[in-house]
Amino acid sequence: MTNSIKRLAPFLLMGFVVFVISACSNGNEGDQSADEASVWEQIQEEGKLVVATSGTLYPTSYYEEGSDTVTGYEVEVVREMGKRLDLEVEFEEMGFDGMLTSINSGKVDLAANDITNTEEREEKFTFSEPIKYSYGTAIVRKDDLSGIKSLDDLDGKKAAGASTTIYMEVARENGAEEVIYDNATNEQYLRDVSTGRTDIILNDYYLQTLALAAFPDLNITIHPDIEYYPNNQAVVMKKDSGELESKVNETLKEMKDDGTLKELSEKFFNGADVSVEPDLDIEE
């Protein structure tokens, strides 16, 4: 295990997924087009993008030890995007529950924090082109796989996580007993599985591999036979963002084509390229 992962272990947090009520849409199509244009024009006039992020989700958005500057995969993606758009980027740090509501209220222009693209969210918000592809896995005890062979065996098992995540929804649908944590670090999550206080953690594959690397001495592993829920994460903005959406997507495409996304991914995900879809036959 590298020293950098050891130092950052306390900041490892499970990826949360938030569902919020959509703001009312404007019924006048002409006025809406004018509003879309004015959003981008206002951003240009002010010379900055205001972006919601957490500052606590390694390796997406976090602080390195001894630094007072937020960094991480999506933070640096947005920084580079701002540079190419000739805009300053100002990060507003907040909890997951506030990010999407802050977009609709106009407090921020974008949110970047490993936010999963779902059909329900697409009805309420605009998502950029994906900047990360992943899928769900499960952390269980190494010695007995927590007595679990597949998701069908979760009935009565204790699943650790946050109540609003997609992954907890999967656990709930399969009969697991929820053990809810409030903004806990991965060390607490992982140690509780290791000691038997809980049985399983359902979450993002890449986040779980980094979590395991940070705590190699615990009696935990990624289940060898559980892969599910292929998904992608993107930069989020207000519904019908017009020219802002176009500028964001054009810039992200440039960054993907010239290898910048790959380079940033490999830096923050221990050599893995999360900007490409994994070639796996994963259960939907």
pLDDT of res. 284: 59
Question: Quick one: which of 119, 84, 95 has its CA closest to 261?
Answer: 84
Q: How many CA atoms lie within 13 A of 233 on its CB side?
A: 25
- Cβ 243 vs Cβ 37: under 8 Å: yes
All domains of the chain, ordered by start, with CATH? 3-131+234-268 (3.40.190.10), 134-229 (3.40.190.10)
Q: What is the pLDDT of residues 177-195, one digit of tens each?
A: 999 886 566 788 899 999 9
pLDDT above 60 for 5:
no
DSSP E strands in 11-124: the ranges are 48-53, 62-63, 70-71, 88-93, 110-111
pLDDT above 80 for 16:
no
Is the alpha carbon torsion for 190, 181, 163, 60 positive or negative? negative
Q: What is the pLDDT of residues 21-78, one digit of tens each?
A: 333 334 444 444 445 558 899 999 999 999 999 998 889 999 998 999 999 999 999 9
For the chain, the maximum distance between any two Cα atoms, rounded to a whole number of angstroms, is: 63
Sequence length of the chain is 284
**Which pTM was predicted?**
0.77
pLDDT of res. 19: 30
What would the DSSP string read from start to end of 248-276? Answer: HHHHHHHHHHTTHHHHHHHHHTTT--TTS
pLDDT above 70 for 269:
yes
- The letter for the amino acid at 284 is E
User: What is the C-alpha separation between 100 and 276, in angstroms, rounded?
Assistant: 25
Structure letter (DSSP) for residue 235? -
What spatial distance separates the first Cα and last Cα of the chain, rounded to whole Å?
33
Q: What is the pLDDT of residues 104-126, one digit of tens each?
A: 999 999 999 999 998 999 999 99
User: What is the C-alpha separation between 48 and 112, in angstroms, rounded?
Assistant: 15
| 3-state percent helix, strand, coil for the chain, nearest multiple of 5 | 40, 20, 40
- Cβ 206 vs Cβ 232: under 8 Å: no
User: What is the C-alpha separation between 57 and 131, in angstroms, rounded?
Assistant: 16
